[in-house]
Amino acid sequence: MELEFQEYRVRKIVNVHRHVDGPRFWTKYSAHPYVGCRSGCEFCYLRGGRYLGKRDPNTFDTQIQVKTNAVESLGRELAHLPPDVITCGDWQQPAEDRFRLSRGMLGVVRELGFPLFVIERSPLVTRDLDLLVDINRRAWVGVVFSLSHVDPALKQIFEPRSPGTKRRLQAMEQIAQAGILVGAALMPILPGIGDDDQHLDEALRAIHEHGAKFVLAGGLTMAGVQAERTLAAARRLDPRLETGWREFYQWAENGKPNYGPSRAYAARLGLRVRELGARHGLLDRMPRYIAPGPLAVNKRVAEQLFLKTYELELDQAHDQRIWAFRKAAWTVDESQDSVARLYAARGEAGLRELPGIGMTIAAEIARWLRDYGENG
């Protein structure tokens, strides 16, 4: 189908997230120059929800809305925000070939000294490697390449127009060789056809061989028109998949599927990726960037609290316990009082003065603070 570009000006481009995205990407801000994506992967969750607004979801890959004032808006808005990790840019082709907005946005991030996170499916990002290296020198850069597998047959069915997997891996290697932290988002992992040990191990081996330090894994979500399109793609691959997928997502005819896999499946998948990844020297979480300063200890403690929530999810712990640690992570991360100073002045009782910090979590924080002190 013919591709249409719709140019417009935005009043605001930076999304300020209520909480940092821990323990996954660690981002506080996001800003992107385009709405829609030519790759048009059948399983892309952005076809649904609020991303397209009132647009027809079927125009996701045929109409690209271009925020022509993206660069100037980004500069104006970031100038009034405290530096923190921003995910920025979009190197999809042919939009970026024509408008080159992402490079301009990187220039703003560099000049204002913000740390940068990039999650990308396109190897075109290496075009701007000079800027990425400079931002990394001034602050920090983390790049994650989005992959679901390294199986050509699955790619042809579910993402026929996305950039080739080999090209993405080569771009990953180029960025790693430039001294930039790089990893992979193995998302979405397709149930029943991409979640077996062979598919996972092949992907993790390739990721490691091309310089990645970590991998983040996630199952396939299903909602609205994206669910219907993804199921149709699965039928094209193997008509027998429909029955299994409907059962997997508890999706009755004329009904709606569960949004995501069960907690038990997600935990098993996470543990399996952790085990296989360890064989290849890959972490299963992305290390957090922490800027130096008096509140750096808060960020470090919050990182541990966020990581604890992930461990509890893998253990299939009770939701109440998971939420207790997540809320504590938000509290510590966003506090303007140093938890190290609180602990030095009043011990664990001082930590418990923070909202949502009870005895158990205060004891955990105290232990981490003692470890940090002993290790300098």
Which has the closest alpha carbon to 332: 291, 295, 370, 302?
Answer: 302
Superfamily of domain 296-374: DNA polymerase beta, N-terminal domain-like (1.10.150.110)
Answer yes or no: is pLDDT of 375 > 60: no
Instruction: Give the residue-averaged pLDDT of 11-39.
Output: 97
Instruction: Examine domains 4-279 and 296-374 and report if their fold is the same.
Output: no
Range with the poorest average pLDDT among 7-16, 48-57, 59-68, 178-187: 48-57
Whether 187 and 200 have beta carbons less than 8 Å apart is answered as no
- In this predicted structure, the answer to whether residue 155 has a pLDDT above a threshold of 90 is yes
Return the pLDDT at 15. Answer: 97
Per-residue model confidence as pLDDT tens digits over 305-338:
999 999 999 999 999 999 999 999 999 999 999 9
pLDDT of residue 376: 46
Q: What's the pLDDT score for residue 371?
A: 87
CA distances from 301 to 64, 244, 332, 365, 368 (A): 41, 42, 7, 7, 7
Give the pLDDT confidence of 204-260 residue by residue, as tens digits. Answer: 999 999 999 999 999 999 999 999 999 999 999 999 999 999 999 999 988 999 999
Q: Thinking of the domain 4-279, which architecture would CATH place it in?
A: Alpha-Beta Barrel (3.20)
| Position 118 pLDDT exceeds 90 | yes
pTM of structure? 0.95
pLDDT at 374 over 60: no
Q: Where are the domains of the chain?
A: 4-279, 296-374
